[in-house]
Each structure stands twice: as structure tokens, then as C-alpha cells.
Structure 1
Amino acid sequence: MVLYLLKSGIPHQTIFHDLYLKKQSGNYSQIDLVVATKVGILVFEVKKYNGWIFGFANQTYWTQVLAYGKHKYRFYNPIFQNKKHIQDLKKQLPQFQNVPFYSIIVFFGNCSFRNLDYVPDSTFLVKSHRAIKVVKEILERNEPATYVNKREIVNLFNSAVLNGESQEIKAKHIQNIKRNFG
């Protein structure tokens, strides 16, 4: 996804990949990708699935179906997952309360959506080949955001990227996921 963004002209210094954001609880929220733009913050959840994807926007779990129904796997609703990432981000800096956030869930792989219903406002559920089109639409159709302190935002994102380089933080995050969703 990062390569797609770079090739489309998004400046590299605005792209932050694999962020581990420390929450007030002491746990971490792992965010696949964040792009700081003139219209707001784009938060990406990237999935790689094949087969049919079934789910409703308000369901906790979705289902991946493979081999014409012979294999079924549940996974946490990525709309909920990315919504939580945005909530966690907004708690980090007071200025985020006035900055628009856009949730972009990108599916790579040979999958097709079945039975998916209403997707919330400012949320985009797309296959990988449409991701850049969605980013460009967001940039073209929205007014510039008001940032109080851009440096503060960049520092937060850079710090979260550095957290992602820590094996200890990654292990703690995985342990927390297993405890909550295991």
C-alpha cells in the first residue's frame, strides 16, 4: 500500500507505516498505515484475503469463505477495528478533535464482498486497485483541515513508528490481542 501511495505522488514524509500507539491503559494499538494530508488524517487498515467475504457493517465478526463453502474463517470486523484506531488516535492530541479522519479499509487478494451493507460516513471499503482513487477523491472533495501544530502530529506519528520497531512492544501487543480475542 505504501508503494501505491508513493507512486501516486503522496509525499513520503506524510506516510507513516506500522504504528504502535500507546494508549492510556498502557496497551498498544497497532495501525497499519496513516497519511497526514491537507484535508485530514487518512487511517488505513490493510487486509489480505481470498474467497468470499460476508459481513454486515454493524456485525462484530465477518466470515471468509473458501473452496465454495468448504472452509470458513471468522475475523474481526475491519470497520470496527479501524474505528477503534481512529478513536485511539483522537485521544492522543487535543487538536485531533477538530481534524477530520477518514477510515480506509483496503483488501488485497482475490476476494469478493458478499452481503456487505451500509458503510459509515468517512469510511471506505475498497479492493486494492481502487485505493488510490479513493485517496484522490478524499483529497479533491474536502476542504483543507485546520491543524494547530503540524510538528506535534508528525512527532506523535514518528514516535508510534519507532514503537513498531521494538520487539518487546510488538510481543506485548500480540499478548494483549490473544488475551482479549483469543
Structure 2
Amino acid sequence: MLILFSLLVIGAAVLGMPRVKGRIGEGWVKFFLSKLDPERYFILHDILLPGQNGKTTQVDHIVVSPYGIFVIETKNYKGWIFGSEKSKKWTQQIYKNKQQFQNPIHQNYGHIEAIKNVLGEQVKLPYISIIAFNSKADLKKINISSPDIYVTYDTRIKKTIESYGDKRNVIPYAKAVHDRLKSSAIAGKEAVKSHVTQIKTDQKQVKRKVHNNVCPKCDGRLLERRGKHGHFKGCSNYPKCRYTA
């Protein structure tokens, strides 16, 4: 009994790890995407692409179709979720506890830019950004104005993609785009380790700049300001740069 209890405790701890929870969320999205027609939708999962300045970008899921390129970011959160398209941070609330996380729309925008960098301007398919939350999340108040951005549940992701039914290109063209992305992917454990190291380094650089009152976005000076939610640091180049900390 003691061994069984210990295994249950260890299993619960492992399942609670952010990386493991993220993999579980990606697994569910992968399952729902597998229901799409394979003759029209060409799917890539967990793909590492070259970005700008020698960096890399990891994309959870890409669906290439004759109707557009769907770029999917999965979020395995629970509780109430609040956010808007242009806000820097979103809020997760569980009872009275609130915590903020990076705007996933901004995060996915970086993924789309990396894909565009690989494919070039000759690919004329539209890009559709989808943020997929699991069923444990309750999307309370999400403000989106752009027509090609969706924040939804993983159970509705297939329906969201299939709602784009206006055929704009021949199917072989979509397959060629899929194949090009696949051939451009960076594979291997060393590449993944390098990507993780890059993320940690970038985070440290941002913290260091903010600590020294330097804007990590444009290198302007960060100034102490006061808003309706209290004190914060804002870039001196506002409104050209809207970075806050």
C-alpha cells in the first residue's frame, strides 16, 4: 500500500508539471485534428522552425489546407480566462486566486511570422491564428476584433477549421506548402536543447534590461508610471512602443 501510495503521489506530481500538462493538451488537439479529411488538410505537429537572427521557433500544430494555413497554439489551463487581442497579459482566475500569463495571440503571431519567413511571399494562402484551450478552462471574457483570430476550446477546433470552406487554391498547392515546411523543420535532440537554452537566455536578457530600466523591445528608457491598477514601468517611446513591465 505504501508503494502504491508513493507511486500515486509521484504520478500526480509528474502530471502537474507544466511541460507534461502542455504535452497532454497538445495530445488532445492532435487527436481532434486527426478527424480532418487527410485529402484536404495536411498537418504538422510540434515543429521547430528557423526564425530570424539565428533563433528558432517551436509551433504546436500547423494545418495547411486549400483554404488557409491554420497555426494553432495549445493552452492547458483551468479556471476562468480573461483577455483581449491587444493586451500584453491575460488573466487566469481560480476562485479568488489570479495570475497572469503571456498573451497567446501575441505568442502565436511570432509563430506565424516564422512560417512566413520560411515560405516567403510567393505563398498567398491566408494565415489563421487559433488558440485552443482545454475543457477545464472557462473562457469568460475574450475580446477579439480581427477576423482571422480564434480563441476556442480544443473540442471545437475541427469545426473552426472546417468553417473555412471557400476553396482558394488547388489541393496539390497546399500539399506542396506542407512539404516545404516539413523539409525546413529542424530535427534532433540537440536542436531542441538549443531552442530551450535560447528561450531561457532571452528571458534572462529581458529581466536584466527591465531591472536596468531599459525597454527590451526598443531599447528606450523605462519610466515609472501610475495606472488604474497601480504602478508600472512604461517605455519612454510611447506611443510608438507600448511595452510595459
Q: TM-score range by the shorter chain?
A: 0.7 to 0.9
Equivalent residue in structure 1 for 2:137, among 82, 99, 111: 111
Amino acid in structure 1 at the alignment position of 2:169? A
Report 1:48-87 matches (<5 A): 48-66=76-94, 68-69=95-96, 71-87=97-113
The change in CA–CA distance for 1:161 and 1:44 in structure 2 (over 3 A counts) is: farther
User: Structure 2 length as normaliser, TM-score?
Assistant: 0.63
Which structure 2 residue ranges, 5 or more long, are not aligned? 1-28, 208-245
The change in CA–CA distance for 1:111 and 1:127 in structure 2 (over 3 A counts) is: same
Equivalent residue in structure 1 for 2:116, among 76, 85, 90: 90
Instruction: Determine the structure 2 residue equivalent to 1:136.
Output: 162
Amino acid in structure 1 at the alignment position of 2:199? I
The change in CA–CA distance for 1:157 and 1:119 in structure 2 (over 3 A counts) is: farther
Partner Cα distance (1:11, 1:149) in 2: 10
Contact between 1:100 and 1:145, CA under 8 Å: does it hold in 2? no
Q: Secondary structure at the match of 2:52?
A: coil
Q: Secondary structure at the match of 2:146?
A: coil
CA-CA distance at 1:156 after TM superposition:
2.7
Alpha-carbon deviations, 1:149-177, whole Å to 9, x = none? 95465133343262678333333343245
* Structure number with larger C-alpha Rg: 2
The change in CA–CA distance for 1:165 and 1:48 in structure 2 (over 3 A counts) is: farther
Q: Cα RMSD between the aligned structures?
A: 2.7
Q: Percent identity?
A: 28
1:179 aligns with 2:204: yes
Instruction: Determine the structure 2 residue equivalent to 1:35.
Output: 63
CA-CA distance at 1:132 after TM superposition:
1.0
Alpha-carbon deviations, 1:62-115, whole Å to 9, x = none? 01111x11x222111111111221122112222455221111111014111223
Amino acid in structure 1 at the alignment position of 2:105? I
User: Structure 1 length as normaliser, TM-score?
Assistant: 0.83
Contact between 2:40 and 2:65, CA under 8 Å: does it hold in 1? no
The change in CA–CA distance for 1:173 and 1:14 in structure 2 (over 3 A counts) is: farther
Amino acid in structure 2 at the alignment position of 1:136? E
Contact between 2:41 and 2:65, CA under 8 Å: does it hold in 1? no
Partner Cα distance (2:189, 2:129) in 1: 21
Q: Relative contact order, CA 8 A, sep 6+: which one is greater?
A: 1
